[in-house]
Amino acid sequence: MDILVKNLLETQTKEKIQKPNCQTRSGRSLLAFYLQTKFKQIINHDKKSEKQVIIDYKKGFLDDFTNRLINRPDDKILIALSGESASGKSTICKQITRCIEELNLPVTILTADNYFNDISELIKIHGNFDLLRDSGYDVDSPNNFYLDLLREDILKLQKGLDVLTPEYLVNGTGISKPKSIPVKSNKIIIVEGMCSIYEKVQDIFDIKIYIDLDEEERKRRFLNRAILRNQDNENALKHWNYIQTAGKKYVQPQKQNCEIIINGECDLNYFAHMVEYINLITNNFSE
């Protein structure tokens, strides 16, 4: 474990504060001040680490976020986790999932890629997915997602309601099965996928996180993944060229609207310890 994180965890474990009365505005304000102080401590620590996770963040986002906690305390916390293809979204989500299981965290992860439109009929017409893409069909366009449904489902989760999301089959058929995956509402809702920061939905999130990684490393990861999936190298390169173009058109421009930029090459164990510390500071109260 990173020695600085270890020290933070040990100090926090010993440090208990009287839990404020969150039914009152003054109690929520006290809690917000406490959380701001602790999150600034995390950011300052991360700057000194050789395994830095946070590349950049918007000034004022902590003030905005804690004000939201004070003014709308009953709403679940909505976090968008986005970035271009092969930037590390799924890998980081797997690490978060492990932390959820180990620490019993009140976190739900919703995969926004399941909101791809059903394009099965188009695939049948063109012969297969690759021929459909080669025909000029823009797979990653905002128009190729059920964004209205995504927004509706996220807002239900925010109010504490469980939902049934679609399931997009990644077997090349382009089939989307409606109301297939049960998703429970939890204290924190993480929506993972490139479309989570598209214009139709980005305004509903409390925090938008963008995972950044240089193009050459993303290409290497993408092609290695294609090899593991037994994909033809020529076709994999074609698809890489498509997603590279689509990413620059649809995903990169939204980076400026995100509050936190994360390093796609961050050390996952170090990242897990940061999640553990965040969990500790949000629950470390005496009654």
Q: At 11, is the pLDDT very low, low, confident or very high (cuts 50, 70, 90)?
A: low
Contact 77, 189 (CB under 8 A): yes
Q: In 3D, which of 217, 258, 267, 277 has the Cα closest to residue 95? A: 267
Identify the pLDDT of residue 286: 42
Identify the pLDDT of residue 283: 61
Does 200 have pLDDT greater than 90?
A: yes
- Rounded Cα gap, residues 217 and 87, in angstroms: 8
Identify the pLDDT of residue 136: 94
User: In sequence order, which residues have a C-beta less than 8 Å from that of residue 203 and are 6 or more positions away?
Assistant: none
Q: How far is CA 54 from CA 12, 41, 136, 139, 263, in A?
A: 21, 13, 37, 30, 6
**pTM across the whole model:** 0.88
Identify the pLDDT of residue 40: 85
Q: Which of 25-39, 129-143, 148-162 has the lowest mean pLDDT?
A: 25-39
Identify the pLDDT of residue 60: 87
Identify the pLDDT of residue 22: 67
Per-residue pLDDT tens digits for 219-235: 999 999 888 877 888 99
Does 146 have pLDDT greater than 60?
A: yes
Identify the pLDDT of residue 287: 42
Q: At 217, is the pLDDT very low, low, confident or very high (cuts 50, 70, 90)?
A: very high
In sequence order, what are the beta bridge partners of 56?
Answer: 261
Average pLDDT over residues 148-164: 97
Average pLDDT over residues 80-106: 92
Q: Within the chain, what is the greatest distance between any pair of CA atoms?
A: 64
What's the token pair of residue 162? 């469980």
Q: How far is CA 152 from CA 133, 148, 155, 188, 201, in A?
A: 29, 6, 5, 17, 9
Q: At 211, is the pLDDT very low, low, confident or very high (cuts 50, 70, 90)?
A: very high
* Helix ranges restricted to H, 118-254: 120-126, 129-134, 147-158, 215-228, 233-246
Average pLDDT over residues 236-246: 95
Q: At 89, is the pLDDT very low, low, confident or very high (cuts 50, 70, 90)?
A: very high
* All domains in the chain, ordered by first residue: 54-265 (3.40.50.300)
**Taking phi first (over 0 means left), then psi (-120 to 50 degrees means alpha), and beta for anything else, what does residue 83 get?**
left
Q: At 281, is the pLDDT very low, low, confident or very high (cuts 50, 70, 90)?
A: low
Contact 192, 85 (CB under 8 A): no
Identify the pLDDT of residue 18: 60
Q: At 124, is the pLDDT very low, low, confident or very high (cuts 50, 70, 90)?
A: very high
Q: At 103, is the pLDDT very low, low, confident or very high (cuts 50, 70, 90)?
A: confident
Does 102 have pLDDT greater than 50?
A: yes
Q: At 1, is the pLDDT very low, low, confident or very high (cuts 50, 70, 90)?
A: very low
Top mean-pLDDT range of 1-10, 50-59, 120-129: 120-129
